């Protein structure tokens, strides 16, 4: 009996040590679990038949960023997009084409450490990248803030929320947002209580409270990355006016599985924006 108890205690101690070591490993390598950049741009807008301009933006801490300006003929608005935590802007070209077809100029800015952008990704760094893109649109292209739509998907939704605070864009669109990185860690690693010590926050649920612009939030019914309940929490924390849409599909393919519904949701929301904000043809 005593030998059995010793074995159980030894096994529990070993498990506790293993979990402790795993926790330290995850915390020490935290960025590896958040950012998955792809340096190789495999396809450009030209390969989809889209006219575009290759840009280099400069952040206030001296990082040079890659960006694409994709104009829309007879544009009715300008969309500034922030993608998720993996890949690069080349993987989002079908989205840019869809928005262009909806009459929106698109500025696709590449995060630091992704694609052809310099630097290493970090939460403060991505926020600086977003500010650099905003300065380009408003300061170089002289597009009024109330004629710009800020959009982000997944991690990019948090970047979009951060940028939109204190500004007055035409609208803010968040697709499959999650509440925060600590919440994501608690959801995906419930057996490893490291979330109180996580440095990166990307807390869209907190930042969205300060967004003062018409809001579109799109969730996915089968989202296994950021559960629909998180998207609902982000929507619930936001102020009016806001619009909620839930589409069939997963975290990364809901716009493909529910393509017609996705298009309809965007058209309806764009049409609902006040006329001065919706009639943005500048910067083309």
Active site (catalytic) residues = 154, 223, 251
Q: Alpha helices, DSSP H only, in the chain?
A: 2-28, 93-101, 123-135, 155-164, 181-188, 204-207, 228-237, 254-257, 259-272, 275-278
Q: How does strand 53-58 pair with strand 64-70? A: antiparallel
Upstream peptide bond of 241 is cis (omega within 30 degrees of 0): yes
What distance in Å separates the CA atoms of residue 176 and residue 195, rounded to the nearest whole number?
A: 21
Whether residue 251 contacts residue 225, with contact meaning beta carbons closer than 8 Å, is answered with yes
Phi-psi sector, 81: left (phi>0), alpha (psi -120 to 50), beta:
beta
DSSP SS3 for 193: coil
Q: Which two tokens stand for residue 146?
A: 């109330």
Residues 6+ apart with CB under 8 A from 109: 57, 65, 66, 67, 80, 81, 82, 89, 129, 130, 132, 133
What distance in Å separates the CA atoms of residue 249 and residue 206, rounded to the nearest whole number?
A: 26
């Amino acid at each position: 009996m005593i030998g059995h108890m010793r074995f159980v205690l030894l096994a529990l101690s070993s498990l506790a040590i293993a979990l402790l070591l795993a926790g330290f490993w995850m915390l020490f390598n935290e960025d590896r679990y958040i950012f998955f950049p792809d340096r190789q741009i495999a396809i450009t807008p030209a390969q989809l038949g889209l006219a575009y301009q290759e840009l280099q933006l400069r952040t206030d801490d001296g990082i040079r960023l890659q960006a694409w300006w994709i104009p829309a003929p007879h544009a009715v608005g300008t969309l500034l997009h922030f993608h998720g935590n993996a890949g690069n802007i080349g993987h989002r070209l079908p989205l840019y084409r869809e928005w262009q077809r909806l009459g929106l100029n698109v500025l696709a800015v590449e995060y630091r450490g992704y694609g052809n952008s310099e630097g290493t990704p970090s939460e403060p760094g991505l926020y600086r990248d977003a500010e650099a893109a905003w300065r380009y649109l408003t300061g170089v292209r002289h597009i009024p803030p109330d004629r710009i739509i800020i959009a982000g998907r997944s991690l990019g939704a948090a970047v979009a929320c951060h940028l939109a605070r204190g500004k007055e864009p035409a609208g803010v669109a968040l697709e499959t947002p999650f509440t925060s990185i600590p919440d994501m860690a608690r959801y995906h690693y419930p057996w490893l209580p490291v979330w109180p010590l996580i440095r990166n926050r990307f807390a869209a649920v907190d930042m969205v409270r300060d967004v003062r612009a018409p809001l579109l939030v799109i969730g996915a019914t089968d989202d296994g990355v950021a559960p629909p309940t998180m998207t609902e929490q982000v929507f619930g924390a936001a102020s009016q006016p806001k619009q909620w849409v839930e589409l069939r599909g997963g975290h990364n393919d809901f716009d493909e599985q529910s393509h017609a519904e996705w298009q309809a949701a965007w058209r309806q929301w764009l049409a609902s924006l006040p006329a001065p904000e919706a009639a943005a043809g500048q910067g083309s």
